[in-house]
């Protein structure tokens, strides 16, 4: 088959263009889909179940009947009917937010509320719920110091029964109040395994209790980067009265907790 000169020229030009375009695409890298790596969350979370074997020695009262109670912390488990405690913390940078709940139910003997009584039994139910924000103003590789402020919700229920030869008494009552609190807490790393921690606050100021204060110190051990334990001592004192209800009882005893970073 014969082609004209013009046709041959057109076919040659088309072949050359195809070769140039094909070469260009052959040298171009393929477009690949790149999945972005998600950035780390600025939030840190910590959960700490704990046990506070708190003894008590003070005065309780309901409907103007009062009784003194004395339960050493070494004997607390023989009087304890139920207890549960948990602390949760969420932190973002220098700011942290803490919720702490403690509940205990116990029964013990007490002093007689009237001269006609020979014996008295006291049943106590207690709830303390802390909610506060903490600001970290010292933060280094050796430890940290926080200042915190918030509220402490207090609930106390008292059942008082007394018996005498010609007399019997059964009274009960409960109160719920909220104390503003301010405090400091700190953490010091002794080495990569052991650390010391301390915390203290004051509150009440007449808004709930007349005055309340708490102090705690612990020695801790890091099992891993995520799990540690603390063993120490806690003291808490509150003085609250309203009408015929009275609760002026220091609580003190050994404290044991397990920190879990989520």
- Show pLDDT as tens, one digit a residue, over the chain (262 residues): 454 554 444 445 455 544 544 554 455 455 556 666 566 789 999 999 999 988 888 888 888 888 888 887 777 777 788 889 999 999 999 999 999 999 999 888 777 666 666 677 888 899 999 999 999 999 999 999 999 999 999 999 988 887 777 777 788 889 999 999 999 999 999 999 999 999 999 999 999 999 999 999 999 999 999 999 999 999 999 999 998 899 998 999 999 999 999 9
Angle of CA points 255, 258, 260, to nearest 5° = 150
* Number of structural domains in the chain: 1
User: What are 127-159's pLDDT values in tens digits?
Assistant: 999 999 999 999 999 999 999 999 999 999 988
Do 247 and 176 form a contact (C-beta atoms < 8 A)?
Answer: no
Q: What is the CATH number of the domain that holds 216?
A: 2.40.128.90
The pLDDT of residue 12 is 53
Domain assignment present for residue 26? The answer is no
The pLDDT of residue 160 is 84
Domain assignment present for residue 253? The answer is yes
Domain assignment present for residue 4? The answer is no
Please report which helix (H) or strand (E) contains residue 224, including its range. Answer: none
Domain assignment present for residue 35? The answer is no
Domain assignment present for residue 122? The answer is yes
Q: Where are the alpha helices (DSSP H) in the chain?
A: 5-26, 76-79
Tokens of 213: 């204060």
Domain assignment present for residue 222? The answer is yes
Domain assignment present for residue 21? The answer is no
Domain assignment present for residue 201? The answer is yes
Q: Is the dihedral of CA 204, 208, 210, 215 positive or negative?
A: negative
The pLDDT of residue 253 is 92
Structural domain for 103, as ranges: 44-261
């Amino acid at each position: 088959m014969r082609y004209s000169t013009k046709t041959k020229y057109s076919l040659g030009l088309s072949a050359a263009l195809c070769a140039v375009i094909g070469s260009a695409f052959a040298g171009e890298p393929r477009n690949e889909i790149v999945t972005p790596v998600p950035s780390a969350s600025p939030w840190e979370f910590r959960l700490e179940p704990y046990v506070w074997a708190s003894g008590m020695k003070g005065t309780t009262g309901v409907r103007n009947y009062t009784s003194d109670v004395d339960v050493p912390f070494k004997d607390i488990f023989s009087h304890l009917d139920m207890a549960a405690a948990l602390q949760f913390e969420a932190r973002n940078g220098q700011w942290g937010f803490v919720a702490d709940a403690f509940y205990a139910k116990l029964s013990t003997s007490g002093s007689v509320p009237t001269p006609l009584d020979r014996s008295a039994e006291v049943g106590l139910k207690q709830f303390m719920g802390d909610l506060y924000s903490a600001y970290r103003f010292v933060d280094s590789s050796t430890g940290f110091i926080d200042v915190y402020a918030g509220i402490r919700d207090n609930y106390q229920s008292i059942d008082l029964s007394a018996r005498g030869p010609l007399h019997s008494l059964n009274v009960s009552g409960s109160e719920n109040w909220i104390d503003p609190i301010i405090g400091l807490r700190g953490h010091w790393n002794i080495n990569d395994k052991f650390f010391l921690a301390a915390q203290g606050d004051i509150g009440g100021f007449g808004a709930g209790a007349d005055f309340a204060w708490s102090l705690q110190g612990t020695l801790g051990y890091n099992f891993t980067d995520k799990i540690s334990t603390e063993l120490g001592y806690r003291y808490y004192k509150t003085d609250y009265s309203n009408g015929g209800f009275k609760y002026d009882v220091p609580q003190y005893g050994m404290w044991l907790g397990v920190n879990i970073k989520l």
